[in-house]
């Protein structure tokens, strides 16, 4: 950048865009799995029905000023709202710093928005909506066709490697445990991730999500009576965490593996 301060201004704009998209994702996370329109009606307090004015809907800031409560009735606003906004802004910044002003950045912004929405929807309701993953697969393939972060063939292979491996594990799991181990939503989510990151990295996601899922299951099994009863933990959030880990550290992990385990 030649103009002094331009970098700072662009960074601030990207952060603001991330916050705004995060604010929209809060609407998606609440309304999409409940089959409600994303556009109408305007947001209102679930406690007293008071419409939320635009100046009470400024990402992060409103939550801090209102101290996490509705001004009308004092109903607590979930800390998920500012968390989603903050998280989205951070992801937008990180992808911008990595890919600059490019097709890849726009694509990975879309990717991270999908991941944030899936993470919180699956965590709350154990659902991964097709309305996110199917357009996500198309977007991943389209991005590979026009961008230069991944070639198109790898993107196609990624879809099959992601979807296929989870289909196989789900099938094996249902044979072994006589119950559904992985839902169709997980399979489509893995296919979507494959479209963005290709077959090698989706394999890493596969390994890390399984390890993460196993570790967390052991802990949750020890502390939650509800989990001991139901034996159900959404798998989507582990896939999301593993995918972000692989997107940011995939190359380091692959290099490390070759240094330590390849036969020279």
CB 32 within 8 A of CB 38: yes
Least gap, CB of 27 to Zn ion (angstroms): 17
Helices 184-223 + 103-125 axis angle, to 10: 50
Residue closer to Zn ion by CB (options 73, 214) is 73
CA distance 59 to 66: 12
Among 74-82, 102-110, 162-170, 224-232, which window interacts with Zn ion (CB under 5 A)?
Answer: 74-82
Least gap, CB of 163 to Zn ion (angstroms): 43
Residue closer to Zn ion by CB (options 51, 73) is 73
* Window 211 to 230, contacts with Zn ion (CB under 5 A): none
Does 159 interact with Zn ion (rule: CB under 5 A)?
Answer: no
* Closest to 112 (Cα-Cα) out of 83, 129, 92: 92
Does 72 interact with Zn ion (rule: CB under 5 A)?
Answer: yes
Binding footprint of Zn ion, residue count (CB under 5 A): 7
Where on the phi/psi map is residue 104: left (φ > 0), alpha (ψ -120 to 50), or beta? alpha
Contacts by 10-18, CB closer than 8 A, 24 or more apart: 11/93, 11/96, 14/92, 14/93, 14/96, 15/89, 15/92, 15/93, 16/89, 17/92, 18/85, 18/88, 18/89, 18/90, 18/91, 18/92, 18/93, 18/109
Reduced DSSP (H G I as helix, E B as strand, rest coil) percent helix, strand, coil of the chain, to 5:
75, 0, 25
Which one of residues 25, 70, 115, 190 is an interface residue with Zn ion (CB under 5 A)?
70
Among 67-75, 205-213, 216-224, 245-253, which window interacts with Zn ion (CB under 5 A)?
Answer: 67-75
CA distance 2 to 171: 57
Q: Where are the beta strands (DSSP E) in 43-151?
A: none
Least gap, CB of 84 to Zn ion (angstroms): 20
Which one of residues 75, 174, 224, 251 is an interface residue with Zn ion (CB under 5 A)?
75
Least gap, CB of 86 to Zn ion (angstroms): 23
Among 21-29, 71-79, 182-190, 256-264, which window interacts with Zn ion (CB under 5 A)?
Answer: 71-79
Which one of residues 12, 38, 73, 211 is an interface residue with Zn ion (CB under 5 A)?
73
* Window 24 to 63, contacts with Zn ion (CB under 5 A): 45, 47-48
Residue closer to Zn ion by CB (options 74, 100) is 74
Least gap, CB of 66 to Zn ion (angstroms): 10
CB 107 within 8 A of CB 139: yes
Least gap, CB of 88 to Zn ion (angstroms): 25
Residue closer to Zn ion by CB (options 63, 166) is 63
CB 224 within 8 A of CB 196: no
Least gap, CB of 56 to Zn ion (angstroms): 11
Q: Enumerate binding residues for Zn ion (CB under 5 A).
A: 45, 47-48, 70, 72-73, 75
């Amino acid at each position: 950048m030649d103009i002094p301060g331009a970098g700072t201004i662009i960074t601030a704009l990207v952060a603001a865009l991330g916050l705004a998209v995060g604010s929209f994702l809060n609407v998606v996370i609440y309304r999409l799995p409940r089959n409600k329109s994303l556009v109408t009606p305007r947001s209102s307090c679930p406690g007293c029905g008071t419409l939320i004015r635009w100046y009470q809907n400024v990402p992060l800031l409103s939550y801090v000023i209102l101290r996490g409560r509705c001004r009308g009735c004092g109903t607590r606003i979930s800390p998920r709202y500012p968390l989603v906004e903050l998280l989205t802004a951070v992801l937008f910044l990180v992808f911008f710093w990595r890919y600059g002003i490019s097709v890849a950045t726009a694509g990975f912004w879309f990717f991270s928005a999908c991941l944030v929405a899936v993470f919180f929807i699956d965590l709350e309701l154990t659902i991964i909506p097709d309305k996110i993953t199917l357009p996500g697969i198309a977007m991943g393939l389209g991005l590979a066709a026009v961008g230069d972060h991944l070639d198109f063939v790898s993107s196609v292979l990624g879809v099959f490697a992601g979807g296929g491996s989870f289909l196989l594990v789900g099938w094996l799991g249902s044979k072994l445990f006589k119950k559904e181990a992985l839902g169709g939503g997980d399979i489509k989510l893995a296919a979507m991730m494959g479209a963005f990151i290709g077959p090698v990295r989706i394999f890493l996601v596969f390994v890390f999500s399984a390890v993460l899922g196993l570790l967390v299951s052991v802990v949750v099994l020890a502390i939650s009576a509800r989990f001991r009863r139901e034996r159900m933990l959404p798998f989507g959030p582990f896939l999301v965490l593993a995918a972000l880990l692989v997107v940011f550290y995939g190359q380091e992990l692959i290099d490390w593996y070759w240094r330590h385990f390849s036969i020279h």
